[in-house]
Amino acid sequence: KAGVTQTPRYLIKTRGQQVTLSCSPISGHRSVSWYQQTPGQGLQFLFEYFSETQRNKGNFPGRFSGRQFSNSRSEMNVSTLELGDSALYLCASSLIERYGYTFGSGTRLTVV
């Protein structure tokens, strides 16, 4: 069974640009969550999607947005990039009937 797949693995962007990250959950998993991981702030929840609906959102500015498609694949978008957005962005998926979330390997975003 394939794991959670995130693309791309690495990204370098310039301040002010926008970026789109992709996440393909484990087959059959309908819940997809996104997290930002930085050395200073640790793992912070961004948002969670289920059946194309955002059910929960963390405390991030509106520049951070996401969506989920009918096949459960999810994307997150960050507009007007700032240096502080440099981080590892992790996606996790779960069968809604179970609690365990499986993480992908993440996308390492560097803003210069």
Partner 1 sequence: GENVEQHPSTLSVQEGDSAVIKCTYSDSASNYFPWYKQELGKRPQLIIDIRSNVGEKKDQRIAVTLNKTAKHFSLHITETQPEDSAVYFCAASPANAGGTSYGKLTFGQGTILTVHP
Q: Which residues bind partner 1 (CB under 8 A)?
A: 31-33, 35, 42-45, 48, 50, 55-56, 58-59, 90, 92, 94, 96-97, 99-106
Helix (H) / strand (E) containing 110: strand 107-111
Helices (H) and strands (E) in the chain, counts: 0, 11
- Is the Cβ of residue 13 or residue 30 nearer to partner 1 in the bound state? 30
CB 18, min distance to partner 1, A: 25
Report DSSP state, residue 101.
P
Long-range contacts formed by 47-51: CB under 8 A, 24+ apart: 47/76, 49/74, 50/96
CB 95, min distance to partner 1, A: 10
- Is the Cβ of residue 56 or residue 80 nearer to partner 1 in the bound state? 56
